Amino acid sequence: MSTENRNMKMLIAYDGTHYSGWQKQKNDRTIQGEIECCLKRMTREEISLHGAGRTDAGVHADAMCAHFLTRSVLSVTELQRGLNSMLSGAIRIITVEETDLDFHARFHAKGKLYHYSLYCGKIQPPRSRQYLLHVPLPLDLNSIHSCLAIIEGTHDFSSFENSGSRDKTILSGRGAIRTIHSAKLTADRADAFVFQFTGDGFLRNMIRNLVGTLIEVGRGRLSSKEFKAILKARDRSLAGRTAPPHGLCLKEVFY
């Protein structure tokens, strides 16, 4: 009989390079799988870790939020130290806190901030190759900014949703409609850029599809007018390619 009486909330950073994404899988190393495995060893309970969302294989996070219910009497410090000592350095538990029993990392998430990072110089520095997408071409930033302004607001993002299971538990009713509070492009340096998207939720591969299409705009292969038409068409076949996962990072989950 389960009588979990504590709810533990964690912030987790990870380098997704060598993981098959967040969600537990039978035969692959995943972030959820690795952390659950350590929690089971520490608590001797069958722990279910609930993340605020699922990141794909190769996607990184600076602050994924997750919670789990437990009967363990371990302190938050013991849990954090124990996990960080058992886990690979590719996964770090940033904080652990005890929270209300009804807190749910996924159901209560009000929004998320994602970054997608590009390097536009001629030769990509080796040490950033797993964290920045290399686009060795000049980009038309004005056209990209026009498209980012189009993205902001509430839209049906079907054109930027990959096929695959949509999470029916909380998103039913609103279909592919999402609200993007902010879509920006900032320059780290003259040749390094970061797309920043804040929204109430994101469809499967939505940011990577947006970025892949925005790069087409930046290269002059699509106009901002065509970009707007693609968004309105609600047809995935019109948008650009899915940008690879390694430029993407979950920066924050809002509650």
Shorter beta-carbon distance to a second copy: residue 15 or 216: 15
* Of the residues 29, 76, 98, 131, which one makes contact with a second copy according to CB under 8 A: 131
CB atoms within 10 A of CB 140: 14
Shorter beta-carbon distance to a second copy: residue 39 or 83: 83
Q: How far is CA 159 from CA 75, 154, 223, 231, 234, in A?
A: 47, 14, 16, 6, 4
Q: Is 15 among the residues known to form the active site?
A: no
Residue 60's nearest CA partner among 251, 249, 253 is 249
* Of the residues 10, 14, 96, 201, which one makes contact with a second copy according to CB under 8 A: 14
CB 16 within 8 A of CB 60: yes
Nearest distance from C-beta of residue 62 to a second copy, angstroms: 7
| β 192-199/111-119 pair status | antiparallel
216 scored as a contact of a second copy (CB under 8 A):
no
* Of the residues 92, 106, 234, 251, which one makes contact with a second copy according to CB under 8 A: 92
Nearest distance from C-beta of residue 136 to a second copy, angstroms: 11
* Of the residues 1, 3, 126, 190, which one makes contact with a second copy according to CB under 8 A: 126
Question: Could you give the 3-state DSSP secondary structure of residue 206?
Answer: helix
**Distance of alpha carbon 91 from alpha carbon 83, whole angstroms:** 9
Binding site residues, a second copy, CB under 8 A: 13-15, 60, 62, 84, 89-94, 123-127, 129-131
